[in-house]
Structure 1
């Protein structure tokens, strides 16, 4: 049976893509060190959708939470399960997850980031998940208490109360995301310390973060989502088509010339929220890796770029035209790959046919 199981449950937009890439790219080395990552990153995602019983679970998914838990139970050392959407589980779902891993020693790992950077990142991620609301509508919903999902999934204090209360205080870990400009290895070093990964086991390479879109590119995607109507209505079809061919292949490579920021009119609100969050976390018994002061936003009174809704039609049109040009290049590269693949298959078939003819002639001779 597993000795310890580390459940990294979130939050989204806290460097989870980078951390998961390091983990899964080094899974063989980790296994030799006695640390198992059961299944694949996709398996962890599928298990999350099963545990949370979400309506957008892929009908073709084969991994369930119980299957992942069984893999963990079959290991003799430590186990890491990582998916940033686990933090959105209900109290009952979280309790089920923790109890399913008994009698292993379960540790809850939560990463949290300052709200000033989280708000635009979260809104953009929602647009990349097929939402159509404006940035202002998103912020107003959060501010007026009409979007509790944000607090449940993106704040360490809420996630720790749901998940952390299920395990002893010594098994609760809060990791703060370093401020902008910190060495890229800092976040990984904090995770490695919590997970008990010895120095030198993993190669972290260059950061592979989930690249942000610019304000104009995000607005283009939001309008595309509106125009799609009922096409690609669910998570998996949308990811396979829109996320793959428009977002990843084109929009993410645009250069992000106009970054997203919260306006200075909400500076005091965000600062007050940050102080409240720091106070709650300081009073909650857990292992803090990093510094709670990193949750205090910096540069909140700096003049931001225009909000997406304030962009001129010419800016959005220019971004849309660039996206079309990018998709033409993407389509051309896909065509070249198909042609090359066809040529390779034709060559293999020709070689096989030639070989058969030669063998037949030799037998007849």
Structure 2
């Protein structure tokens, strides 16, 4: 068990809950954190690869954890040496929310018992569509209703792939070893005015830092619903074309970087991705079950749980005409680029 005079804070995600933003602030403020007696180990944005090296055998999509073993061992050494040197440590990796009970026990055995764990939370009505559009960027061909139906089939007994979305169980799992402080990501129109960083810093017990804005990351820009449907169709065509994995990846990157991301934020005229109406009641029920488990296990909640309960009144109806209109805007954008290059 770690000495109570030294803080070992572990941010476990989950995915798509502002983790990149939080990690960006932590990484760019490393010098200030050091002056205040804190360490955010390594030089990367987060400690994700190191976690792969230490616990990859327990993570669904990691096929060969050995390639990360060196960086994992390095994190283990840094955590131990800093805590032994009377320095506070914070690490952040959303993949930690996917660990099962045995792997969490292994975490404590390898790195030590945290003084506190922080989980950032979004409601499932918001999280599931966000996860879907992110999967399209890496080549998925699954339709949103199919993905949500698959998630719902795992609600009562989630396997490795869906374990992190049962967020109440995640809190319960980690609360066996340390107090878990939950940060609710502020929703649209959220009352109170506290930013995600304000809430996170308070939950983690961190000192104030100067740089609290980070550059937008294109990889985290949200697709419109229409762009997501076009992206999915492109993935289907690429898959049917039997081209190499490298060629397919290059095509997706070109489409995202040249067309989708420059027109993100509503510039393509598309609508926001929301939960399909037919899943609203079932997802709301699953979400409430997990919130009840969370409230019984969490040590504190920062922000309003109402932001994790909000459900969209009605999902937009996406018709072919809207998809064609967005496709036309994307085509015009490509033609503008080609015209500028040829002139």
TM range (shorter): 0.7 to 0.9
Listed as ranges, the matches of 1:136-155 within 5 Å are 136-145=145-154, 148-149=159-160, 151-155=162-166
- The structure 1 residue matched to 2:73, chosen from 42, 66, 74, is 66
- 2:304 pairs, out of 277, 291, 294, with 291
| 1:115 aligned onto 2:124 | yes
Indicate if the aligned counterparts of 1:52 and 1:93 stay in contact, CA closer than 8 A: no
How far has the Cα of 1:212 moved from its partner? Answer: 0.7
Match of 2:93 in 1: 83
Does residue 203 of the first structure (1) align with residue 211 of the second (2)? yes
SS of the equivalent of 1:108 reads strand
Once residues 233 and 79 of structure 2 are traced to their aligned partners in structure 1, the CA distance between those partners, rounded to angstroms, is 43
- Alignment CA distance shift 1:194-1:56 (3 Å): same
RMSD of aligned Cα (Å): 3.4
Alignment check: 8 A CA contact 2:21 2:214 kept: no
Aligned to 1:37: 40
Give, in whole Å, the separation in 2 of the partners of 1:205 and 1:45: 21
Deviation at 1:208, TM superposition (A): 3.8
Please list, as runs of the form range in 1=range in 2, the aligned pairs for 1:21-60 lying within 5 A after superposition. 21-41=24-44, 44-50=47-53, 51-53=55-57, 54-55=61-62
Question: Are the structure 2 counterparts of residues 283 and 43 from structure 1 closer, same or farther at C-alpha, using a change threshold of 3 Å?
Answer: closer
Instruction: Determine if contact 2:168/2:292 at 8 Å carries over to the other structure.
Output: no
Structure-2 change in CA distance of 1:35 and 1:241 (3 Å): farther
* Cα displacement (A) at 1:242: 5.3
Q: Which residue of 2 aligns with 1:361?
A: none
CA distance in 2, matches of 1:329, 1:106: 55
Determine whether 1:260 maps to 2:263.
Answer: no
Q: CA deviation at 1:142?
A: 1.9
2:16 is paired with a residue whose SS is coil
| TM-aligned CA deviation for residue 290 of structure 1 | 2.2
CA distance in 1, matches of 2:248, 2:66: 14
Q: Secondary structure at the match of 1:41?
A: coil
CA contact (8 A) 1:245 1:327 kept: no
Contact 1:21 1:208 in 2 (8 A): no
TM-score scaled to structure 2, two decimals? 0.80
**8 Å contact 2:185–2:196 — kept in the other structure?**
yes
Distance in 1, matches of 2:327 and 2:63, equals: 29
Aligned partners of 1:184 and 1:238: how far apart in 2?
45
**Separation (CA, whole Å) in 2 of partners of 1:17 and 1:232:** 30
1:148-227 aligned within 5 A = 148-149=159-160, 151-165=162-176, 167-168=177-178, 171-182=179-190, 186-199=195-208, 201-205=209-213, 208=216, 210-227=220-237
Aligned length: 321
TM-score, normalized by length of structure 1? 0.75
Work out the CA distance in 2 between the residues paired with 1:262 and 1:188.
26
CA deviation digits over 1:18-62, x for unaligned, max 9? 111111111111111111111133561211332223435699757
Equivalent residues of 1:109, 1:172 under 8 A apart = yes
Unaligned 5+ residue runs, structure 2? none
1:143–1:163 distance in 2 versus 1, CA, 3 Å = same
